[in-house]
Amino acid sequence: MKSLVHCGTTLGLAGTALIAPALIASAPVLALSEAEVVKKLNDTPCFLITNNKGLPLTRRLPGKDGKPGSAYTQVFMDGQEAQSFMNQLRQEKNQEPKMAAMIKELRITAVGLGDIYKKFRESNKDTNSLKFAFQPGQEDIKGAIALLKQQGRKVDKFVSVPLFMISAEGQGYVSIKRKSDQKEIIPLYFSKKDAQGLLQQVKKKYPKAKLEVGDIDGVLNVLRKKNDAWLSQVFLVPPSDSLQFINQMQKNSNATPPKPKR
């Protein structure tokens, strides 16, 4: 899959127990199907700005010869950043009445990343379809760049959605066991802050354990093409901040309206 953020850029794990670094099993496992990839991604929410009918806010890329280019919508990995962007739109002055009325009705809509991935794949086959401009959380982008620089890499920008993982003293990526089903998984975090929480636990047993950074494009490419048994254990951990943002959205939507004054 081509980089998720190349389109349109012109404009928890609660109660987990540490096991050990993951061992690579010898039995071959087939690469994941598209349906399996979508299911794995759908545990992670992302956020669109939509109207009251659920239709996403779109813009146009610059086209050739003065003609409008493809339509795209922004996909935010951070709900608060989506909220801030929407607030900025509402604060713009000198808007036409029709535009102001449309912006007033905008809202934040949470969708599964797997569903967006599926639409993204479909859009690559149709040049006229809606494109997606992925907006990773800015703090996680800064964290990814900082980690790469610590490794001696010369990097000024990160051109994908970063993922953070923990390796333990050269023995492989750390695996943990979920209390909910006792399944052994290898967590890959969208949030650097969440990954650092597990790192502190791991360091008690593996003092030289460290945080590493990858990207969603590379991970999806491996999941779809490689036949390695350990890939079935990979679990993409949704950001805790995103889950909290969704909980707050649900509380606000279920809030009891104020009683009319008499």
pLDDT at site 33: 85
Query: Which structural domains are found in the chain, ordered by start?
Result: 12-242 (3.40.1350.100)
> Is pLDDT at 165 greater than 70 in this prediction?
yes
Residue 255: pLDDT band (50, 70, 90) is: low
* Residues 35-67: tens digit of each pLDDT: 888 998 999 999 999 988 888 998 887 777 777
Q: How far is CA 38 from CA 119, 123, 130, 198, in A?
A: 10, 15, 19, 25
Checking if the pLDDT of 257 tops 60, the result is: no
147 contacts 211 by C-beta, under 8 angstroms = yes
Residue pair 103/43 in contact (Cβ under 8 Å)? The answer is no
What one-letter code names the amino acid at 80?
Answer: Q
Does 11 have pLDDT greater than 60? no
Which of 36, 6, 58 lies closest to 236, judged by CA?
Answer: 36
For 200-226, write each residue's pLDDT tens digit.
Answer: 988 888 888 999 999 999 888 888 888
pLDDT at 88: 92
Report the alpha-carbon distance of residue 199 to residue 93 in Å, rounded.
46
Question: Does position 14 have pLDDT exceeding 50, yes or no?
Answer: no
What is the Cα 216 distance to its own chain's centre?
8
Entry pTM: 0.81
For 238, residues 6+ apart whose C-beta sits below 8 A from its C-beta are: 12, 43, 44, 45, 190
Quick check: 238 and 12 in contact, CB under 8 A?
yes
Q: What is the pLDDT of residue 30?
A: 56
- β-strand pairing of 174-178 with 184-189: antiparallel
Of the candidates 133, 117, 74, which has an alpha carbon nearest to the alpha carbon of residue 220? 117
Residue bearing the bigger pLDDT, 127 or 260: 127
pLDDT at position 138 is: 94
Which range among 4-8, 45-49, 250-254 has the greatest average pLDDT?
45-49
pLDDT digits (tens, 9 = 90+) for 21-42: 443 333 344 578 888 889 989 9
Pairing of strands 107-112, 131-135: unpaired
Most confidently modeled of 90-104, 168-182, 239-253? 239-253
Mean pLDDT, residues 101-106 taken together? 89
Backbone phi, psi, residue 69, to 5°: -90, -160
pLDDT in tens, 72-87: 899 999 999 999 999 9
